[in-house]
């Protein structure tokens, strides 16, 4: 992926995080925009984005989240609380005609509010 | 999509009216019998899209038609009984010059002269307040909570500054969400809130209310109905008490309208043919807690289940025995904030289990009907954040689909393994609300905060979303009819949305009065289909009969 495209995706993420701010007469425990956000890209062997791939995030409990990648190969999960340990989520990807080769998680920096957790999923044909 | 299971009967509610009409014709009263006329104003001349309502003196039933492009209106033959009728209108910005009473049959056309309304603000819907008030989307967003109980008019007419407004908002957190202006109910424990968020909202409201004098912004209005939106007949049945808050309405195989009362422990039944009304009282489960039920749903046997809200637990009504059975929460699962807003008994014959939710725990529960025991499911446990499982629907194997009204996802719980799969919607912060399943097992739902209706296809694990044509519609629910057309209602604009996802065509029918629309229902057995909804704040049940079979 080119730097420009990544920058555009990062901006997209910023916009959606802003769209989630505020909320509901303040009647919840915490602001949704202060928690852990999981996002990332699904790419082929050459680094090109794969649209419409199924991304599965499995939690320790065995419950899962399933999202599809956008036209730019991006996915995003609903916001977790800021106390959530990102290591407890395993990301996998799938698409017909492809098999997953590996996942790459960007190093998780401790921060308050937490930084988004980016996990890239690589697939190749076959 | 077909909803074949509901098409067993060819019964038609208008059939008796047709016979009655035929009788009139035979008797020679003839074509002049129906009430008809013309609407105009000095400002516009002939007026299209004016709702004209006729109500026989002393009757609880009001019938409404809409004027056409030439300002003409005509009540269908047989839609009004003979006698004196009081006429009223709805056309934002206008009012009748003088009260009008007519006789039915009325041999000569009636002319309705409208003048500019003296108090436009009193006529605005919440959607019109939303588009009139200055401010950002973020500033206005929290107000969607307020309209569960009242319109913004009462907020915006106040003269409170930020500090007294903050005190008012704090007081609001002590009220149950099943409150109406006619019956305010206090929670056993107040809602959690963030002080800074409430202060931010109070400060914003102090800039748009009358604390600084008259409103400094123009009051904007939505356009009146035109074209196809005028081709409709609306019948309102007033409830015998103003406190009755019909929340979910369903029509049974005999054409009876059953409804849940949001603020009182009654299950209600209305006979639309005669207007006869009957109530069945269910027992107090938790004394001192707010009364009333939210969701109403039939099971396969035609019995009705209610979600007991703050009364807690589930209530089953045996239609033949006319007897209630209460399924209480066990003490260890119950707390002062416990709340069952939803119930899904449609497929309980499959495995003996009925799904419900526990709002205070962001959780779902499943009742084993035989033992009366509840299991707890916490798909969002350990995850944190804002979540609230709300609208429920079950597939043929009694696997559950639930809407995360607090968040932005729908979920599925496998009936056998108990494991949850959560599918975030393409639009963030969509707050999915109520749902129904079509004959192909597809899940249709309203994205309340995203102003969209949506479909999830479990076979493809994929979504489709459609924008409501009017901003700030806040659809609560959606129902797909036998033609594949969608019906939805706005909690804020007093409009019913009919939408064909295949062609993208839509129409919005305006309702005659301020109507806080919740659960919607379509009777597929009539031609055209018939739409039903409760007026949660207006103590009435509404039947909307489109004159067009399809939107094409």
Which chain B residues are closer than 8 Å to A54 by Cβ? Answer: 461
Q: Which residues of A103-120 are buried (b: 16+ CB within 10 A; e: fewer)?
A: bebeeeeeeeebebbbbb
Residue A5: band (very low, low, confident or very high) from pLDDT cuts 50, 70, 90? very low
Q: Is the pLDDT of residue B403 over 80?
A: yes
C-alpha distance from residue B52 to each of B85, B118, B197, B515 (Å): 12, 19, 43, 16
Residue whose token pair is 């907020």: B155
**Of the candidates B50, B310, B312, B300, the residue with the CA atom closest to the CA atom of residue B179:** B310
Confidence of residue A14 (pLDDT cuts 50, 70, 90): very low
Pick among A78, A81, A94, A113 to test the B interface (most B CBs inside 10 A): A78
What would you measure as the largest C-alpha separation in chain A, in angstroms?
A: 51
B146 close to A (CB below 8 A): yes
Contact (CB<8Å) B428/A20: yes
| Average pLDDT value for residue range B304-322 | 98
8 A C-beta contact, residue B448 and residue B490: no
Q: Are A74 and A12 in contact (CB under 8 A)?
A: yes
Helix (H, G, I), strand (E, B) or coil at B349: helix
Are the C-beta atoms of B388 and B337 separated by less than 8 Å?
no
- B227-546 has which CATH code? 2.130.10.10
In DSSP terms, which residues pair with B365 in a beta bridge?
Answer: B356, B376
* CA torsion through residues A37, A42, A46, A47, sign: negative
B461 interface with A at CB cutoff 8 Å? yes
Taking 60 as the threshold, does the pLDDT of residue B510 lie above it? Answer: yes
Q: How many CB atoms lie within 10 A of CB B92?
A: 18
Domain spanning A3-125, CATH class: mainly beta
Q: Using CA atoms, how far apart are residues B298 and B306, in angstroms rounded to an integer?
A: 9
Q: B383: which chain A residues are within 8 Å (Cβ-Cβ)? A: 59, 80-81, 84
Q: What is the pLDDT of residue A2?
A: 39
- Nearest by CB to A22, from B142, B195, B462: name it: B142
pLDDT at B494 over 90: yes
pLDDT band with cut points at 50, 70 and 90 for residue B33: low
Contact B379 A63 (CB under 8 A): yes
- pTM for this predicted structure: 0.89
The answer to whether A25 contacts B198, with C-beta atoms less than 8 Å apart, is: yes
Question: Who among B141, B192, B407 is closest to A22 (CB)?
Answer: B141
Give the pLDDT confidence of B222-279 residue by residue, as tens digits.
999 999 999 999 999 999 999 999 999 999 999 999 999 999 999 999 999 999 999 9
What integer is the mean pLDDT of B474-485? 97
CB B366 within 8 A of CB B332: no
Delimit the domains of chain B by residue range.
34-118, 122-208, 227-546
List CB contacts (< 8 A) between B386 and chain A.
23-24, 28-30, 32
Provide the b/e sequence for A30-45 (b: ≥16 CB within 10 Å): bbbbebbbbbbbbbbe
Contact B429/A19, CB-based, under 8 Å? yes
Cα(B490)–Cα(B233) distance, integer angstroms: 19
Instruction: Give per-residue burial for B135-147: e unless 16+ CB within 10 Å, then b.
Output: eeeebbbbbbbbb
- CA-nearest residue to A21 within chain B is B138
Tell me what ipTM this predicted complex has.
0.80
Q: Is the pLDDT of residue A35 over 90?
A: no
Domains B34-118 and B227-546 share a fold: no
Mean pLDDT of chain B: 93
B416 class by beta-carbon count within 10 Å (0-12 exposed, 13-18 middle, 19+ buried): exposed
Place of tokens 């899904």: B344
Dist. CA A96–CA A98, nearest whole Å: 6
CA nearest B492: which of B228, B219, B124, B92? B124
In this complex, do B385 and A32 lie within 8 Å of one another by their Cβ atoms? yes
Closest residue, chain B, to A76 (C-alpha): B424
Distance in angstroms (rounded) separating the CA atoms of residues A121 and A123: 7
Across the interface, of A16, A23, A63, the residue whose CB is closest to B420 is A63
- In the prediction, which pLDDT does B547 show? 96
For chain A, say whether B422 makes contact (Cβ under 8 Å): yes
Banded pLDDT at A106 (limits 50, 70, 90) = confident
Q: Nearest Cβ partner of B383 from A29, A31, A80?
A: A80
Please give the pLDDT value at position B484. Answer: 96
User: Exposed, middle or buried by CB within 10 Å (0-12, 13-18, 19+), for B551?
Assistant: middle
* Interfacial B residues in 151-170 facing A (CB < 8 Å): 169
State whether residue A94 sits within 8 Å of chain B by CB: no
- Of the listed ranges B21-35, B132-146, B246-260, the least confidently predicted one is B21-35
Superfamily of domain B34-118: Immunoglobulins (2.60.40.10)
Report yes or no: A79 at the B interface, CB cutoff 8 Å: yes
pLDDT for B2 beyond 60: no
Q: Give residue A8's pLDDT.
A: 38
* Confidence band of A34 (pLDDT split at 50, 70, 90): low
Q: For residue B421, give the nearest of A29, A66, A88 by CB distance.
A: A66
């Amino acid at each position: 992926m080119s730097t420009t495209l990544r920058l555009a995706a990062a901006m997209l993420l910023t916009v959606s995080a802003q769209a989630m701010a505020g909320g509901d007469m303040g009647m919840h425990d915490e602001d949704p925009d202060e928690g852990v956000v999981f996002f990332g890209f699904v790419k082929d062997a050459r680094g090109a984005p794969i649209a419409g791939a199924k991304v599965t995030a499995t939690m320790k409990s065995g419950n899962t989240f399933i999202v599809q990648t956008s036209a730019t190969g991006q996915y995003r999960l609903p916001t977790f609380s800021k106390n959530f340990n990102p290591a407890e989520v395993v990301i996998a990807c799938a698409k017909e005609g492809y098999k997953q080769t590996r996942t790459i998680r960007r190093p998780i920096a401790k921060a308050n509010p937490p930084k988004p957790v980016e996990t890239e999923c690589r697939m190749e044909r076959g | 999509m077909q909803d074949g299971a509901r098409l067993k009967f060819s019964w038609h509610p208008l059939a008796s009216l047709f016979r009655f009409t035929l009788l009139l014709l035979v008797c020679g009263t003839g074509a002049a019998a129906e009430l008809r006329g013309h609407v105009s104003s000095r400002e516009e001349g002939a007026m299209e899209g004016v709702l004209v309502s006729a109500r026989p003196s002393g009757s609880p039933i009001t019938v409404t038609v809409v004027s056409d492009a030439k300002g003409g209106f005509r009540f269908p033959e047989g839609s009004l009984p003979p006698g004196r009728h009081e006429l009223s209108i709805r056309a934002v910005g206008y009012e009748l010059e003088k009260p009008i009473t007519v006789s039915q049959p009325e041999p000569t056309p009636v002319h309705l002269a409208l003048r500019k309304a003296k108090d436009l603000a009193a006529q605005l819907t919440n959607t019109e307040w939303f588009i009139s008030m200055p401010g950002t989307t973020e500033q206005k967003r929290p107000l969607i909570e307020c309209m569960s109980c009242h319109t913004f008019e009462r907020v915006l007419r106040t003269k409170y500054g930020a500090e007294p407004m903050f005190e008012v908002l704090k007081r609001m957190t002590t009220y149950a969400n099943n409150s109406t202006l006619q019956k305010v109910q206090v929670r056993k424990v107040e809602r959690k809130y963030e002080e800074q968020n409430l202060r931010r909202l109070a400060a914003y409201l102090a800039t748009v209310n009358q604390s600084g004098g008259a409103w400094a912004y123009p009051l904007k209005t939505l356009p009146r109905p035109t074209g196809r939106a005028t081709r409709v007949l609306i019948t309102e049945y007033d409830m015998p008490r103003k406190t009755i808050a019909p929340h979910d309405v369903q029509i049974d195989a005999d054409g009876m309208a059953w409804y849940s009362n949001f603020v009182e422990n009654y299950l209600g039944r209305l006979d639309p043919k005669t207007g006869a009304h009957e109530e069945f009282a269910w027992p107090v489960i938790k004394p001192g807690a707010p009364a009333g039920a939210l969701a109403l749903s039939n099971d396969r046997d035609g019995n009705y289940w209610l979600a007991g809200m703050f009364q807690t637990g589930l209530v089953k009504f045996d239609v033949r025995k006319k007897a209630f059975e209460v399924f209480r929460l066990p003490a260890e699962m119950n707390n002062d904030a416990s709340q069952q807003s939803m119930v899904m008994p449609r497929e309980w014959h499959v495995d003996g289990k009925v799904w419900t939710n526990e709002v205070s725990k962001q959780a779902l529960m499943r009742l084993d009907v035989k033992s009366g025991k509840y299991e707890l499911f916490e798909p969002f446990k350990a995850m944190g954040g804002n979540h609230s499982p709300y609208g429920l629907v079950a597939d043929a194997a009694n696997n559950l689909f639930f809407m995360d009204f607090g968040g932005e996802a729908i979920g599925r719980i496998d009936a056998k393994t108990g494991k949850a799969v959560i599918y975030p919607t393409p639009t963030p912060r969509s707050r999915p609300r109520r749902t129904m399943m079509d004959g192909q097992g597809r899940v249709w739902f309203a994205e309340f905060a995203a102003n969209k209706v949506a479909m999830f296809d479990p076979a493809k694990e994929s979504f489709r979303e459609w924008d409501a044509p009017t901003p700030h519609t806040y659809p609560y629910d959606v129902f797909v009819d036998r033609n594949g057309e969608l019906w939805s209602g706005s909690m804020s604009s007093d409009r019913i949305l009919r939408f064909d996802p295949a062609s993208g065509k839509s129409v919005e029918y305006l309702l005659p009065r301020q109507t806080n629309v919740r659960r919607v229902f379509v009777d597929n057995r009539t031609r055209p289909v018939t739409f039903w909804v409760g007026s949660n704040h207006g103590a009435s049940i509404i039947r909307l009969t489109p004159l067009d079979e399809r939107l094409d």
